[in-house]
Structure 1
């Protein structure tokens, strides 16, 4: 995923499924478009966050 798409998902009113490395479901909490990084919440725990490259994020295709 690119940083602009990550920002679109973050800004969207819709719930869009995103996975980290194609495995874990995550919620995008913040996007740093300039540096291509995103802070994501992994799973249901609000304290389980990581800052990762947006290239590791993938939209889950239904």
Structure 2
């Protein structure tokens, strides 16, 4: 996923359908310098992790 789109999703009040390893996630923050995002699985908000933006997928329907 590109940085601009990840930032748009993280700042939007509308929930986007984004996955990491085929698991629905929420993007908390985008780190432009490192090309990473702070995320957590929707069903495990306590399981925060920093991942590469390249590993995030937006599912468009």
TM-score by length of 1: 0.87
Give the 4+ runs in structure 1 shifted more than 6 A: none
Give the structure with the higher percent helix. Answer: 1
Give unpaired runs (5+ residues) of structure 1: none
TM-score by length of 2: 0.88
The 5 A counterparts of 1:35-50 are: 35-50=34-49
Task: Provide, for residues 10-61 of structure 1, a one-character-per-residue CA deviation record: whole Å limited to 9, x for no partner.
Answer: 011211110013x110000111012110010113222111100001001112
Give unpaired runs (5+ residues) of structure 2: none
**How many residues in Structure 1 have an aligned counterpart in Structure 2?**
61
